[in-house]
């Protein structure tokens, strides 16, 4: 039985100082790095995702000059810019697969992305025989939620490491965690992982 760690969107534009900064994003980057230093060997697959939007156009209606912050957003994580890079506090040496998502279209789940060679997260997990996955990253109420729900739909037993995530706002983050628990995810701290 193989295990995976799914690291969602720990990028400059989603951490402090970024275009869509999430409070606590840098702390998550540091904490995930510390967790990886101690536990990378516990995982057969470690997948990290990044939003990777096109520089031109509105990316399928995802970018807007007057965003509603529900379905439309200011420009963020544009491919090749500093905002799209991993937060410098995230050490990615142990990552086995880097996934990019959202090229020209809205994409919240890492399962909507692919590696540079075209491998999807679903194919990576199936190919490695992954049955359980721990999910960490940013933001709890958006891309962490979507990625974890897709992992569950893929037949993977999911744990959300609650001290290694950060959300945009408290209420939708709490609602996302409740939804994930209802869908079958376990909510645990990384010390219990």
User: Which residues belong to the active site?
Assistant: 9, 101, 143
Q: Which helix (H) or strand (E) holds 100?
A: strand 97-101
Cis peptide leading into residue 139 (ω within 30°): yes
Q: Which residues contact 82 (CB under 8 A, 6 or more apart)?
A: 12
3-state secondary structure of 35: helix
Question: What's the Cα-to-Cα distance from 68 to each of 23, 61, 63, 71, 74, rounded to whole Å?
Answer: 19, 11, 10, 6, 9
Q: Which helix (H) or strand (E) holds 182?
A: helix 170-183
Report d(CA 165, CA 152) in Å as an integer: 18
């Amino acid at each position: 039985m193989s295990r995976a760690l799914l690291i969602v969107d720990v990028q400059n534009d989603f951490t402090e100082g970024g275009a869509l900064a999430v409070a606590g994003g840098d702390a998550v980057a540091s904490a995930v790095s510390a967790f990886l230093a101690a536990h990378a060997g516990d995982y057969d697959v470690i997948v990290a995702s990044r939003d990777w939007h096109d520089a031109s156009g509105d990316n399928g209606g995802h970018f807007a000059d007057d965003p509603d912050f529900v379905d439309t957003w200011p420009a963020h994580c544009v491919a090749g810019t500093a905002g799209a890079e991993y937060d410098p506090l995230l050490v990615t040496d142990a990552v086995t697969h880097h996934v990019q998502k959202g090229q020209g279209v809205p994409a919240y789940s890492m399962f909507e992305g692919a590696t540079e060679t075209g491998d999807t997260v679903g194919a990576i997990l199936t190919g490695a025989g992954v049955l359980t996955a721990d999910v960490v990253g940013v933001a709890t109420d958006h891309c962490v939620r979507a990625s974890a729900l897709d992992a569950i739909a893929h037949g993977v037993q999911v744990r959300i490491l609650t001290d290694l995530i950060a959300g945009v706002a408290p209420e939708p983050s709490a609602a996302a965690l409740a939804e994930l628990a209802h869908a079958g995810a376990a909510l645990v701290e990384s010390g219990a992982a």
